[in-house]
Structures are given as C-alpha cells and as structure tokens.
Structure 1
C-alpha cells in the first residue's frame, strides 16, 4: 500500500487545454468538454487512443462518465466520476496517481465542460435536478438564493468576528480583474475599481454583483502520466507534490464554524505530503467563487493567521506587483466560471510553472498551489505542484 508521501512526485501533468471560455453559443457541455480534452491530449503529445484513464464530473448528469467515454471513443481501464462540486477536478488527482502507480492505467484524462452561460434551459434543468437528487432539508424549504446567500452568510460572520470590511473584499475583486487584464483569455478585462465594486448591485448582503463569480461557458482538461513517462513527452512535466481533499458538511447551515473551512484540513495534509509549507509556494490559484473565498482560503491554507485575511488582501497585496500572486489568470471573478472552476485553477498553475503566462507570468515560479472549492464551502481540495527542481 502506497502512502501519500510515497506518491509525492510520482505523477506529472503533461498536457492542458481549454476551449470556449466566455460565451460559446451553440456548443453543448459535451462539445466544450471534448474540444478541451482533445486540446489537452494534443498538448501532451499523445493521441486519444493513448488515454486509458478518465476522470470527469457534471452538475447536470449523475452518470456523466459513460456518455463522455462514448463521445470520446475511449475504453478506459480506470474511471472516476466522483462529483463533489468545483473541487472535483483537483480531488481527482490523488486517486489517479494511485491508479498510475499500481499499473491500472498509463495516461489519465481529467476533463470538464459546461455551457452554463448560453444554455438557459440547461441552467433551469440543473436547478430542478439538484432539488430532487441533492435535497437540503434544513434550507430548501425556505427557498434561499443559493449559492450567493450561503457565501454571504460566511462573509457576514467573518465581518462580525474579525472586522473584515466590504472594502477589503472589494480589493479581492479588483486584484482579480487586474490579473485578468493581463490575460487575453479572460472574459472580463476592463479596469475595475474598489468604488465600482462597492457601488454595484447588491446580490445578497454584503455581496454585490462584483463580489460574485462570472457565469460563463467553457471547457478545461489536463493529462496525468507517471513521472517516468512524463520525461519522454514534449512538454515540461509539472509534478504533483501534494494533494488532499476534505469534506465537513453539505449545507452551509451545518457548518460548524462559518469562518473555518475544510481547506484547513486539505491544505495541511497536502503540505505534509509535499514536505512543504506556505512560505515555499510561489503562486496561488484559489477558487474565488465569491470574494470572501479568497480571504477564507488564504487563512485556512496558512498564508496568514485566521482573521487577518481581510488585511492581507488590502491595497493590491495579491494583485500584479503585490506581495503574493493570487489567481493570476483572473480567477472565477474575472476570467471564467462555467459552473465549476476548479480545473481552471489547476490549468493556470501548470501554465505558470511551465512559464507560459506571458504578461502575467511570475518569474522564476517553481511551486504552485491550486485549490478547489465545492458547493457552499462544502468540499475542499488542495494540490501542490512543482517543477523538476522541486523533486
């Protein structure tokens, strides 16, 4: 039996791909997934016939792996359809590493696609489906506006307990937009100010529309192989040094402490596997479904003390030129958010470590942390990646 520490660096991401992020009218979830999957496989220097492992998930289909297998023409020896919201595609890493180490498969494709923005019917059907297959008995009877109101609850508690301000949360959105301005793939690239965030339409107090993530279309994918095989492929391998997932609750009303998320557990476990600490990380890609997320995750992952997240993000500290580069593609707030964002955080981390960030590139980046969040702060998955120098 392999321990997590023994799996450190045993697998590498060798291909990434995205397609249709923003608005892609006429494309289905499956078509967006397939285009990004083919892009990632090609980026890895492989063919789809080389893929014998598959990880995927969808909010709209409980048996999503089977139509994906069919559509892509795969015959996988390893399949993982675990669905824990936006953290899924980062949580898929460790089981895939175990499958590669055991010899069950040799090349794993992790892929996702959603036409959430341009498929209004799809959004309505998904909302109805969730209430049937994912009942929340303490919340659904009251018909809250989920997920915004759940995150607003966490934000309100953090403000009450630690003095966090709306201005500090606005600085998260401003920083994300500044990074997006350097990324030609980002959906929203216009300059954004703190005042514009504060004066924008209120969605669920204290969160305004600019405190909330985008609703876009898009697909993303990556390919994972063993470290030994990675050396034979054309692109620079990016090694998985640590990965862990934690789930403490489903409904926000069942959260034990609205200011502490399961990222505290997933982060600590991932750092232990990697043999690293927060100070060793060069670039962070955090799941910023709402501005409060970035503050919570910076605290829970150990980049600042609990309660200090608001002050940590002030005045451009996580923006271009700041102390710590966070969400260098623009994040879910300004780059893309097609229903679930986690896979895009991981893709951006890989691109940064490959040196493919162009204007937004963090010079000398050797380590990156990508963090996924699912549902209402419910599932958290942390991945620590590194270049060959970090092995």
Structure 2
C-alpha cells in the first residue's frame, strides 16, 4: 500500500538505542523499550508528559502496546502495535505521520525491545507455526528460507558464495567503526566461506547476530520539530508491500516486494535511487543486501553480486550501505528495522563519527519482515530536501 501523507509534514526529532548485546535476565523487552524511549526523549529535549502516541512491536509480548502504555504511565496515548516482523517500524513511522497530520496525537514514539539472547536464543522468542507444505521437511527457519533465495540467485544469475561473503566483510568493516557494535574483530572472505555451514549456501557468518537490544525514535509535526534540540529528519516518502507469509508461497525467490515498496517511496519523495546518499537495508542474511540493492534500484536485477564486490559497499567505497555494521555485525535482537531508522537519522544529523558519510542529505531505510514477506521502505531527508 502507499502510505499517503504530506511530504515532510512530520519529522524524527529523537533517536536512541537501549542497552545492546547481552543485557542479562534482569531486563524484559518492555524494559528495553522504555529505556530507548527515555533516551530518545532526552535526545530531543522532550519529556514523557509530551508523549501522546505509542507505536511498538516485539515478538516477546502478546500485548506490547498495552504493556508499554502501562509501563510509561500514558493511559490515554494513541496506541498502534501491529506487527509485520522487522518491517513493522517503517510502517509505524508512516502511520505516526498520518496520526499527527490528523490530530490524533502530537508526539509519537516508536519503540522496540528484545531479550532474545538472554532468553536463550532465537528459538525462544518465536511462536512455533506448522505449515503443511514446509513442516514435514523440517526446515531450519528462518535460515533455510533465505538459503533458498540465495541458492536460486546463484543458479539464475551466477552469484557466488564469495560475493555473498563480501556483504558480511563490508558489514564487519563498518562495525569496527561503531563503538557499540557486537563484533570487534576483522573478518575476511575466506573466514566467511570456512565458517560452519548453517543452511547451504549460508554459513554462520552469512547469518545475522543473536543479541538483546531495543530503542526508540520520536516523531512530531515539522513545525514543532524545528524548535527542538536536534536537526529534524523529515519523512519524505514511504511504501509497504506484503507478498506472502511462508517462503513456499513466495511468488519469485529472487524478486521481493521491495521493488514495489521502493517505487512507492521514491514517487512520494520525488527522488530516484541515484539521489540517495546513505543506504540502510535489512541484512538478516547476506543475500538480503544483494536482493534489496537490486530491488530498490541501486543496480540491475542479477547484478547485485558484482555490485557488492571489491569493497564498493564497505567504508571508503562508492556506496555506503549499512553504516552501523548491520544485523550481521552490529546487533540483531530479532526485529531489526528500528535500528535502520536510528542509523539513518544519525547519519543525516552528522553524528556518526568515524563512520559518518560525507554530505549525507537523503537516506533510505528499508525493513524486511517474515521470510522476505513484508517489505517497507522509507525515504528520510534533512531540511535542505524540503
């Protein structure tokens, strides 16, 4: 669907992570949401009493919106806690702008929290589901689903395991510039290829981290945003497409809904892929980055493997991609989309230190939910883009 709203009518004014990595058994997902909200409000100079809109999602709470409203003491806040997996937060951002334009709320926070690492890993934070077309074969999900896409891309376009590994290596190089990234050691293509195989052709280094973490962003009307502590980052365009739930129902394993969600976002923002300065895409697996770079128009379909090679998407390369280290090397608490938005905001505000992209004016943040199921794209820009 197209998220129709007035271009630049609302802005992100605060952004912050909660504690990341392994927070221990004393924290709940709602604790981490609240910690992120408090830090994001401090970031922009607003207080909890200003908040009248709450948007959140997590796989570890059945009624996350109710739990967060109770925790923050905001009983009359407008609530939205629909979940499309890791793409939820891009969709929440578009919903928040529409709610602000409609006068339903004035200051919205979008929050996420997960303790999947402390809880014992990914298997303890997902609802088991039986699919008669997949379950009898005992797939290891989600890796096996993404392995199908990677294998098909290799078959159809000649993509190599070395090219997939280049994505992981670039992410690690960005992570080494990020003080809060989980991974602290360099990584080579050879090490990715030699790592333990998880689901062919993906090794453990082709797969995202399993960490705890959370965070929040604060959204308000453009007029109010200009009076706050940090430079506003405006929502210029958004689009969302859902193509399937289970991987056996995906219409085409190498063409995702990002093709259409990106087209929607670009049209609303009035830009093209060539105008984007910073690219933040959901890299739960190395194949994701290749697919989304293709589907969002940064290279032609089938050329993603060659496009990511030779350090092009690494620090110092021509195309800055996943500049915080991504889900592969920075953090991945299970639903990663909010962290893409946080990094995009920081890049556009010039706050990223050693990993800062020079003259960053426009960023794309693309969320993926399920097994390449739900694709949500947002375009963000600074004041000069209005």
Report the TM-score range of the alignment, normalised by the length of the smaller protein: over 0.9
- Whether 1:280 and 2:275 are equivalent positions in the alignment is yes
C-alpha distance in structure 2 between counterparts of 1:60 and 1:130, whole Å? 13
Residue 221 of structure 2: which of 200, 215, 226 is its match? 226
Q: 1:220, CA displacement in angstroms? A: 1.1
- Whether 1:13 and 2:8 are equivalent positions in the alignment is no
2:84 equivalent in structure 1 = 84
* Compared CA separation, residues 84 and 4, structure 1 to 2 (3 A): closer
Q: 1:137, CA displacement in angstroms? A: 3.4
Which aligned runs of 4 or more in structure 1 are off by greater than 6 angstroms?
A: none
* Compared CA separation, residues 155 and 70, structure 1 to 2 (3 A): same
2:300 equivalent in structure 1 = 305
2:105 equivalent in structure 1 = 105
C-alpha distance in structure 1 between counterparts of 2:302 and 2:139, whole Å? 27
1:367 equivalent in structure 2 = 362
TM-score by length of 1: 0.96
Q: 1:328, CA displacement in angstroms? A: 0.3
* Compared CA separation, residues 361 and 228, structure 1 to 2 (3 A): same
* Compared CA separation, residues 119 and 367, structure 1 to 2 (3 A): same
CA deviations on 1:55-84 (whole Å, 9 max, x unpaired) are 101112332110111011113442111100
C-alpha distance in structure 1 between counterparts of 2:75 and 2:236, whole Å? 28
Q: 1:38, CA displacement in angstroms? A: 0.6
CA contact (8 A) 2:111 2:215 kept: yes
1:189 equivalent in structure 2 = 184
Q: RMSD in angstroms over aligned alpha carbons? A: 1.3
- Whether 1:130 and 2:128 are equivalent positions in the alignment is yes
2:284 equivalent in structure 1 = 289
The 3-state SS of whatever aligns with 1:173 is helix
- Whether 1:49 and 2:49 are equivalent positions in the alignment is yes
C-alpha distance in structure 1 between counterparts of 2:274 and 2:48, whole Å? 39
C-alpha distance in structure 1 between counterparts of 2:377 and 2:76, whole Å? 26
CA contact (8 A) 2:60 2:114 kept: no
C-alpha distance in structure 1 between counterparts of 2:228 and 2:256, whole Å? 38
Unaligned runs of 5+ residues in structure 1 are none
CA contact (8 A) 1:148 1:203 kept: yes
Unaligned runs of 5+ residues in structure 2 are none
**Larger deviation, residues 73-82 vs 162-171:** 73-82
TM-score by length of 2: 0.97
CA contact (8 A) 2:29 2:60 kept: no
**Larger deviation, residues 19-28 vs 156-165:** 19-28
C-alpha distance in structure 1 between counterparts of 2:4 and 2:155, whole Å? 39
CA contact (8 A) 1:54 1:76 kept: no
CA contact (8 A) 2:51 2:77 kept: no
